[in-house]
Amino acid sequence: MKKLIISLVMFGCGFGSDLLIQNIYNRETSTLNGKWNYIVDPYENGFYNYRYTPFDETADPTMSGGYFTNQKATQPSDRVEYDFDLSDRIKVPGDWNHQKEKLYYYEGTIWYKKSFDHVKQNQGNRVFVHFGAANYQADVYLNGHKLGVHKGGFTPFNYEITDILKELDNFLVVKVDNTRKKDEVPTVNTDWWNFGGLTRDVKIVELPATFISDYFVQLEKNSLQEIRGYVQLNGKDGTGQKVELLIPELKIRKKIVTDEQGRVEFSVSSKRINLWSPENPQLYDVIIKTDTDEILDHIGFRSISTLDQDILLNGKPIFLKGICIHEENPIRGGRAYSIEDSRMLLGWAKELGCNYVRLAHYPHNEHMLRLADEMGIMVWEENPVYWTISWENEQTYATAQQQLGELISRDKNRAAVIIWSMANETPVSESRMNFLINLRKFALGLDDTRLISAALEIHGEGEFGLTKKISDPFADFVDVLSFNQYIGWYDGLPDKCDQINWSIKQNKPVIVSEFGGGALHGFHGDSLSRWTEEYQEYLFKESIEMLQRIPQLRGTSPWILTDFHSPRRVLPGIQDDWNRKGLISESGDKKKAFYIMQDFYNQISVQKIKKLNK
């Protein structure tokens, strides 16, 4: 493994934020989940005065009306025009759209407030507040003090609150704004619901004065027995501190000492490693100790690489049997956030026959990755660089890089993750190429052990455009060629699939990252009647036959596991704000196409694809 170019702990997680602490998942924490008071603020009266100056930039915000001060009237003559404690309450984690009918279509600012007590276990400890995600921009205040601002609706962030925290009567106020903007990531135009709010867990974590803030423990690239990585400490006593790495089941015990930056790199070798795979999702207890801190993680070791047209898992060719998934619980409605949500979605994927899932089109919650590790499901993770990003805007790039960094920071030790995806269906231009090439370089600087890809588009040439090829120049910069195609849905009828020829010149493996079409569960008719289960079934049959004619085909992830909400989908009686391309309906019922895909996955293999294309 080449030396990591950029330490993950050295970049922030948003303007004014602190370092992103690794593995909050396995730390002892106290939860702030539950009911929070909230105020809907479409004009942002709680943030700006009538001259549009932010209250948190004024000399005395308590006199000016900033909601983050949680001000109370103390006598009858006081003029305070809000009161969190008299306001309605809403559940955290969760989106506001599906909790309150009046907020179903709402985009804008909502203020959240939670009061809590916290007595430190040790007076020398440091305390942080950690957010799993907030969509989209979060301005965070504790006891009237601004902690910082975070942008990005799908990645974690945290702030140190040691010097602000009280034992009693703390109030945490978060201004969450999900307004879509042209220069943000994602941009204004998407095909999923813009769920607003504190959509993942909020936790208080107490840590020693010098603690283990970050670590990377994975197999060396192209090795099956060399484990390499680093440990990073945070605190004034991080220099020259002894660190111990233990993997008891492998009889590994490595003692190392940090440098003046509180960091140490290591390498250990073992011929006893039971490699992680879908058939054998072996996870090892990995313990990192210092004089003041100790952390446990469950980590699998596996190798992922490519050789010409093959994807190699632990050195052997593999076919990725996949499905795309949005982070939505269709039965309950709204953003998926719990471990039960993840078990349901990944359980359906397993039933379909999947050994791989594409988490579209943004980072999903950490439960998904932890469960994928346990269940033996390989994962494609995606940065939300989607469609019409402002390619020439430097701040847009910075936001995209920040979100990619936070994603890699959180999930870099998950064996299930095999692909970092840079983008989805983005139009070719010079500025877009520079944008994506720089993202790729950044990702590889953080983690060079995984594959890089992006969901590209195909183009037709020849008579009637029936010969399909990948002409996107970014194809030269990816490890795996991936593209979305909708022949038979957006391009002709299903029988057009039989007319398609493939001319993919790049000597790389291909994953068809999307294909499919819509159907309303329980709506039946002949195979050429749109929206029927029979049309979708026919389309899947024809698509599968067509895609198997791609010699380099090494995986598919049809669109999509379940129906999901989208304001682009307005056809009454059929869509009703649902994208109907799911193989499973919003009631959890499987459509006929589910079983077509299931049968395909039961019989497909790399060897069969090669034999078909001899």
Instruction: Kindly report, residue by residue over 261-272, the tens digit of the pLDDT.
Output: 999 999 999 999
User: pLDDT at position 567, please?
Assistant: 96
Instruction: Return the pLDDT at 273.
Output: 97
Same fold across 10-207 and 218-305 = no
**453 vs 611, residue with greater confidence:** 453
| pLDDT, average across residues 215-220 | 97
Q: What is the pLDDT of residues 432-468, one digit of tens each?
A: 999 999 999 999 999 999 999 999 989 998 888 899 9
∠ Cα 269 307 281 (to 5°): 50
Report CA 240 to chain centroid distance, whole Å.
35
Please report, for residues 92, 169, 357, 560, the alpha-carbon distance to residue 112 in angstroms, rounded to integers and kept in the order given. 9, 16, 34, 33
Residue 138 main-chain phi, psi, to 5 deg:
-120, 120
How wide is the angle at C-alpha 159 spanned by C-alphas 367 and 232, nearest 5°?
A: 75
What are the strands, taking DSSP E only, across 430-565? Answer: 451-457, 459-461, 467-469, 481-484, 501-502, 510-514, 553-556, 564-565
Q: Which two tokens stand for residue 393?
A: 């805007």
Tokens standing for residue 153: 């609706």
Nearest residue to 357 (alpha-carbon basis) of 325, 318, 310, 404: 325
Looking at residue 281, the DSSP 8-state letter turns out to be -
Sign of the dihedral through C-alpha 15, 21, 27, 28: negative
What angle is formed at CA 455 by the lines to CA 452 and CA 457, rounded to 5 degrees?
135
Whole-angstrom Cα distance, residue 241 to residue 245?
13
| 429 CB neighbour count, 10 Å cutoff | 11
| pLDDT number for residue 59 | 67
273 upstream amide cis, omega within 30 of 0: no
One-letter amino acid for residue 479 of the chain: D
| Whole-prediction pTM | 0.95
Following DSSP, what letter does each residue of 355-400 receive, concatenated?
Answer: SEEEE-SS---HHHHHHHHHHT-EEEEE---BSS--TT-HHHHHHH
Where are the domains positioned within the chain?
10-207, 218-305
Question: pLDDT tens, 25-48?
Answer: 999 999 999 999 999 999 999 999
* Segment (H or E) for 324: strand 324-325
Rounded to whole angstroms, the maximal C-alpha distance in the chain is: 87
Do you know the residue count of the chain? 614
- Tell me the average pLDDT across 519-545: 98
Read off the pLDDT of each residue in 499-518 and give the average, rounded to a whole number: 96
Mean pLDDT across the chain: 94
Residues 6+ apart with CB under 8 A from 389: 185, 186, 187, 396, 400, 423, 426, 432, 435
User: Which of 53-62, 103-112, 313-322, 541-550 is predicted with the least confidence, judged by mean pLDDT?
Assistant: 53-62
Domain covering 10-207 in this structure, CATH number:
2.60.120.260
Contacts of 520 (CB under 8 A, 6+ apart): 531, 532, 533, 574, 580, 585
Residue 65: band (very low, low, confident or very high) from pLDDT cuts 50, 70, 90:
confident
Q: Six-digit token pair at 269?
A: 């070798």
DSSP assignment letter at 322: -
Question: For residue 1, is pLDDT > 60?
Answer: no
The lowest-confidence range among 53-67, 171-185, 424-438 is 53-67
510, pLDDT greater than 90? yes
Percentage of residues of the chain with pLDDT beyond 90: 92
Closest listed residue to residue 177, CA positions, set 309, 295, 40, 274: 40
pLDDT band (50, 70, 90) for residue 18: low
Q: Quickly name the fold that domain 218-305 has.
A: Immunoglobulin-like (2.60.40)
Q: What is the mean pLDDT of residues 588-612?
A: 95
C-alpha 37, offset from chain centre? 27
**Do the Cβ atoms of 462 and 474 come closer than 8 Å?**
no
Query: Does 317 sit behind a cis peptide bond, omega within 30 degrees of 0 on the bond before it?
Result: no
Confidence (pLDDT) at 58: 74
Three-state DSSP state, 234: strand
Q: Are 446 and 229 in contact (CB under 8 A)?
A: no
> How many Å apart are CA 141 and CA 173, to the nearest integer?
5
> SS3 letters for 34-96?
EEEEEEECCCCCCCECCCCCEHHHCCCHHHHCCHHHCCCCCCCCCCCCCCHHHCCEEEECCCC
